[in-house]
């Protein structure tokens, strides 16, 4: 194949000899432009992942130390996961992550889709409603956390107000309750993100070819069937994007826990990110913090990589 | 020839370097988190003292007001090799940095100024590393205090509690009168700070030292420690249900307003009373935690001095000298609520609680009953202190239910963190 192509290339290159430097430059220009950011990513993302992994096998305390001392940090985390009664901070963190991640992603997806379908019914005032739902996303988690902290505080917010209005038997102290405090984090998180998910789904809904819907309607499909059999399956790529966005927001939500609960009673609202920060920077146990970070990374990879793989392979087919 | 060129180049680089740093020579770069009104006012005294000697003051900006953010910023600065002249530091952190070899040496100044004699030995444990002075202590806070609203006290007809049981009786009286008996903020360091006092009260000075300064395992799992947790369980019943996550100054405000009778807190709480224009003995009362008279559980703010280049040393020495001068020690601590870090400062400017604090510190220093607070990072390194705070907080909030379990967890956690 090469032998056939060569004369032709020679011919064109001879014809464009004057342009050859420029065309070569054009070939490499994207690479040159991308090189710095690529290098930065390699060093500051992947390089530091490797560095963190290395530190987790050392005895680093306040400052990094580089003498390898074996998997002591992992052994401690293992013990804290499986041999902890009462629950250790690490055990609390990972169970909280499971509860929070599952409910936050699940409720946001369900609520976002529901709102999007309602808004898609060609209602009046959609232009006004859409930004109202979307707006919480413009706030930072810190603001959301502080606002909900005041709202949920039994001495300041909802409970106090209802008591003043005369409903004195009303009782809602989840934010002060070690067993329920993580659900208040879910409430605040869902409030913030479901509008954004709604916008994503709405865009997806608008992208569906109306011909298909009409054809289905002519075939006698009810609205419920229409959505269940046709619309929602066609929104699959949107589900993927929304899931990725929500999952990474769930995993990194450190600020929400701090602003909303300051860690919760006895540290009962911690997520692994809180654990990692506490141990690395406040408790001067950098090795344990690094080990927890690596475990978080591995857990995420174990969930996201197969999911991405299956989704993307399906698309490619 | 080549060698000459090399020297010239090096000289040029050095000159360039000096030029770049020349702005810093007459400047004190200071990293601290004293941003509240009273604290900032207290620091101004130091700034003025230094400006009289021709040194400019430069705060190293730290995003976020708390000490944690400052410590993270400091860690980054030290890792990058750009040391500030000095930084506010607490207890074992100083030793950590000294161990990492980044602290300066102030021994010359210390000898000249006689710090060895005037600074309590307990503080020198943290400001002297390997025979060298690496930090200048600014103040001594003590932790085993009761802060009581006098109006409420009069209303319920209470008197100073001398024993733990009398304290419980007093709290009962307040409860019967419909006042919140105990103002507590539900953050782990506040709960642990109160527990420091309870342990000292329950086990006595010897026991406190063995358990919380020497981390002696026998003491940690002794029956006395169990009894301390039982006492904590008793006192916790007098806290209002809404305490979880409350800041310490909000708890103090409850006492100031008369919503609550008493707070167990370090003497920085006095700063809040003073800022609210309250005077000791007429508006509020300060007693030692019952059963801890004669002993002082302390923590201390220190200015850690970094190993700065020689041309910046003069500014550092000036800062250290000014920090430990009697006039600054007096002026600063009157505002801050704490007591001077040297025992030879006259107490004329201090209010009643301050005078009592100074006398107590002196007595405790001479009697060997001055102990580092474990909750405040002066009893053991941060890893251990935080493990301890975890256990106390979990006990307070019900994740740990019995004192047997608490003791078991405490031993395990401290052993793990060592």
Tell me how many domains chain B contains. 2
Domains of chain A, by residue range, sit at 88-284
Please report which helix (H) or strand (E) contains residue B372, including its range.
strand B370-372
**Contacts of residue B408 in chain A, CB cutoff 8 Å?**
none
Strands (E), B108-215: 128-129, 132-133, 135-137, 139-142, 145-149, 180-182
**Contacts of residue A83 in chain B, CB cutoff 8 Å?**
none
User: Which residue of B244, B384, B409 to mutate against A (max A Cβ within 10 Å)?
Assistant: B244
B3 within a domain of the structure (yes/no): no
Written in H, E and C, the secondary structure of chain A is CHHHHHHHHHHHHHHCHHHHHHHHHHHHHHHHHHHHHHHHHHHHHHHHHHHHHHHCCECCCCCCCCCECCCHHHHHHHHHHHCCCCCCHHHHHHHHHHHHHHHHHHHHHHHHHHHHHHHCCCCCCHHHHHHHHHHHHHCCHHHHHHHHHHHHCCCCCHHHHHHHCCCCCCCCCHHHCCCCHHHHHHHHHHHHHHHHHHHHHHHHHHCCCHHHHHHHHHCCCCHHHHHHHHHHHHCHHHHHHHHHHHHHHHHHCCHHHHHHHCCCHHHCCCCHHHHHHHHHHHCCCHHHHHHHHHHHHHHHHHHHHHHHHHHHHHHHC
Cβ–Cβ below 8 Å for B394 and A154: no
B320 within a domain of the structure (yes/no): yes
Verify that B31 and B172 share a domain, yes or no.
no
B22 within a domain of the structure (yes/no): no
Please report which helix (H) or strand (E) contains residue B144, including its range.
none
Could you read off the pLDDT of B50-91 as tens digits, one per residue? 999 889 998 886 755 557 778 888 888 888 888 899 999 888
Decide if B171 contacts B310 (C-beta within 8 A): no
Interface list for chain B against chain A, based on CB atoms closer than 8 Å: 68, 71-72, 75, 79, 93, 96-97, 100, 186-188, 241-242, 244-245, 381-383, 386, 390, 393-394, 396-401, 405, 409, 416-417
Verify that B151 and B40 share a domain, yes or no.
no
Verify that B226 and B326 share a domain, yes or no.
no
For residue B369, pLDDT beyond 80: yes
CB pairs under 8 A between A and B: 82
Window from B8-22, B226-240, B385-399 with minimum mean pLDDT:
B8-22
Nearest by CB: A266 against B393, B416, B417: B393
Q: Looking at chain B, which residue has its C-alpha nearest residue A264?
A: B245
**Contacts of residue B242 in chain A, CB cutoff 8 Å?**
153-155, 173, 176
How far is it, in rounded angstroms, from Cα B66 to Cα B340? 23
**Contacts of residue B100 in chain A, CB cutoff 8 Å?**
62-63
B5 within a domain of the structure (yes/no): no
Reported CATH class of domain A88-284 = mainly alpha
B18 within a domain of the structure (yes/no): no
State the pLDDT confidence band at A282, using cuts at 50, 70 and 90. confident
State the pLDDT confidence band at B6, using cuts at 50, 70 and 90. very low
**Contacts of residue B80 in chain A, CB cutoff 8 Å?**
none
Verify that B272 and B304 share a domain, yes or no.
no
Average pLDDT over residues B403-417: 92
What DSSP character marks residue B212? I
For residue B1, pLDDT beyond 70: no
For residue A30, pLDDT beyond 70: yes
Verify that B163 and B152 share a domain, yes or no.
yes
Cβ–Cβ below 8 Å for A281 and B75: yes
**Contacts of residue B416 in chain A, CB cutoff 8 Å?**
76
Verify that B249 and B393 share a domain, yes or no.
yes
Verify that B91 and B147 share a domain, yes or no.
no
Verify that B258 and B405 share a domain, yes or no.
yes
User: Which residue of B232, B248, B375, B394 to mutate against A (max A Cβ within 10 Å)?
Assistant: B394
Nearest by CB: B68 against A76, A176, A282: A282
Q: How many angstroms away from the CA of A284 is the closest CA of chain B?
A: 6
Decide if A113 contacts A202 (C-beta within 8 A): no
List the domain range (segments joined by +) for residue B130.
Answer: 27-141+299-367
Verify that B58 and B122 share a domain, yes or no.
yes
pTM of the shown model: 0.84
**Contacts of residue B397 in chain A, CB cutoff 8 Å?**
178, 265-266, 268
Q: Looking at chain A, which residue has its C-alpha nearest residue B400?
A: A86
Q: Looking at chain B, which residue has its C-alpha nearest residue A283?
A: B383
**Contacts of residue B68 in chain A, CB cutoff 8 Å?**
281-282
B20 within a domain of the structure (yes/no): no
Q: How many angstroms away from the CA of A294 is the closest CA of chain B?
A: 20
Verify that B242 and B391 share a domain, yes or no.
yes
**Contacts of residue B393 in chain A, CB cutoff 8 Å?**
265-267
pLDDT, residue A190, reads: 95
Cβ–Cβ below 8 Å for A281 and B96: no
Verify that B185 and B279 share a domain, yes or no.
yes
State the pLDDT confidence band at A15, using cuts at 50, 70 and 90. low
What is the CATH classification number for the domain harbouring B292?
3.40.190.10
Nearest by CB: B399 against A62, A178, A284: A178
Average pLDDT, chain B: 88
Decide if B124 contacts B337 (C-beta within 8 A): no
Average pLDDT over residues B10-31: 57
Could you read off the pLDDT of A157-213 as tens digits, one per residue? 888 899 899 998 888 888 888 899 999 999 999 999 999 999 999 999 988 888 888
Cβ–Cβ below 8 Å for A62 and B96: yes
Average pLDDT over residues A292-302: 91
Average pLDDT, chain A: 87
Verify that B82 and B222 share a domain, yes or no.
no
B323 within a domain of the structure (yes/no): yes
């Amino acid at each position: 194949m090469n032998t056939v192509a060569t004369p032709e290339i020679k011919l064109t290159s001879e014809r464009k000899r004057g342009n050859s430097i420029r065309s070569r430059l054009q070939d490499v220009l994207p690479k040159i432009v991308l090189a710095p950011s690529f290098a930065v990513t390699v060093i500051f993302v992947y390089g530091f992942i490797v560095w963190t992994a290395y530190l987790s096998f050392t005895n680093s305390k306040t400052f990094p130390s580089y003498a390898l001392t074996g998997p002591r940090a992992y052994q401690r985390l293992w013990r804290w996961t499986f041999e902890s009664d009462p629950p250790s901070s690490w055990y609390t963190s990972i169970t909280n992550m499971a509860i929070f991640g599952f409910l936050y992603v699940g409720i946001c997806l369900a609520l976002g889709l529901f709102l999007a379908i309602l808004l898609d019914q060609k209602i009046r005032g959609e232009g006004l409603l859409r930004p109202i739902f979307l707006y919480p996303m413009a706030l930072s988690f810190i603001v959301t956390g502080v606002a909900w902290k005041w709202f949920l505080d039994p001495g300041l917010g909802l409970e106090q107000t209802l008591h003043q209005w005369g409903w004195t038997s009303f009782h809602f102290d989840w934010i002060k309750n070690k067993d329920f405090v993580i659900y208040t984090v879910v409430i605040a998180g869902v409030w913030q993100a479901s509008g954004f998910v709604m916008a994503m789904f709405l865009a997806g809904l608008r992208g569906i070819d109306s011909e298909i819907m009409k054809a289905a309607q002519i075939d006698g499909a009810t609205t419920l069937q229409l959505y269940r059999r046709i619309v929602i399956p066609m929104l699959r790529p949107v589900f993927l994007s929304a899931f990725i966005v929500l999952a990474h927001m769930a995993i990194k939500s450190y600020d929400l826990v701090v602003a909303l609960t300051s860690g919760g009673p006895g540290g009962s609202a911690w997520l692994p990110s809180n654990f990692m920060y506490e141990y690395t920077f406040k408790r001067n146990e950098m090795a344990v913090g690094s080990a927890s970070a690596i475990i978080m990374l591995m857990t995420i990879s174990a969930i996201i990589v197969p999911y991405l793989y299956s989704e993307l392979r399906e698309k490619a087919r | 020839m080549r060698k000459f060129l090399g020297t010239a180049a090096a000289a040029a680089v050095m000159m360039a370097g000096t030029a770049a740093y020349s702005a810093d020579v007459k400047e004190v770069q200071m990293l601290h988190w004293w941003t509240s009104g009273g604290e900032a006012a207290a620091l101004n005294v130091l700034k003025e003292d230094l400006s009289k000697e021709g040194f400019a003051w430069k705060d190293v900006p730290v995003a976020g007001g708390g000490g944690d953010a400052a410590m993270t910023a400091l860690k980054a600065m030290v890792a990058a090799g750009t040391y500030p002249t000095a930084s506010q530091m607490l207890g074992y952190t100083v030793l950590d940095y000294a161990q990492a070899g980044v602290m300066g040496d102030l021994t010359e100044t210390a000898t000249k100024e006689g710090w060895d004699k005037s600074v309590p030995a307990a503080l020198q444990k943290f400001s002297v590393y390997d025979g060298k002075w690496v930090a200048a202590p600014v103040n001594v806070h003590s932790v085993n205090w009761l802060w009581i609203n006098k109006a409420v006290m009069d209303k319920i007809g209470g008197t100073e509690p001398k024993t733990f049981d009398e304290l419980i009786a007093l709290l009962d009286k307040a409860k019967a009168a419909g006042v919140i008996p105990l103002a507590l903020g539900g953050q782990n360091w506040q709960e642990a700070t109160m527990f420091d006092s309870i342990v000292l009260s329950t086990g006595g000075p010897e026991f406190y030292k063995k358990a919380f300064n020497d981390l002696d395992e026998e003491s940690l799992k002794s029956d006395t420690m169990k009894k301390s947790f039982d006492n904590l369980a008793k006192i916790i019943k007098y806290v209002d249900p809404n305490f979880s996550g409350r800041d310490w100054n909000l708890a103090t405000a409850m006492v100031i307003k008369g919503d609550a009778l008493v707070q167990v807190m370090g003497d920085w709480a006095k700063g809040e009373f003073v800022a609210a224009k309250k005077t000791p003995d007429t508006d509020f009362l300060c007693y030692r935690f019952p059963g801890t008279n004669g002993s002082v559980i302390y923590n201390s703010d220190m200015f850690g001095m970094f190993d700065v280049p020689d041309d910046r040393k003069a500014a550092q020495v000036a800062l250290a000298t000014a920090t430990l001068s009697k006039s600054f020690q007096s002026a600063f601590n009157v505002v801050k609520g704490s007591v001077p870090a040297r025992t030879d400062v006259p107490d004329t400017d201090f209010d009643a609680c301050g005078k009592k604090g100074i006398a107590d510190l002196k007595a405790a220093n001479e009697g060997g009953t001055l102990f580092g607070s474990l909750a405040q990072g002066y009893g053991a390194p941060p890893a251990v202190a935080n493990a301890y705070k975890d256990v106390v907080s979990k006990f307070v909030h019900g994740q740990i239910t019995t004192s047997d379990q608490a003791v078991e967890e405490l031993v395990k956690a401290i052993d793990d963190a060592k």
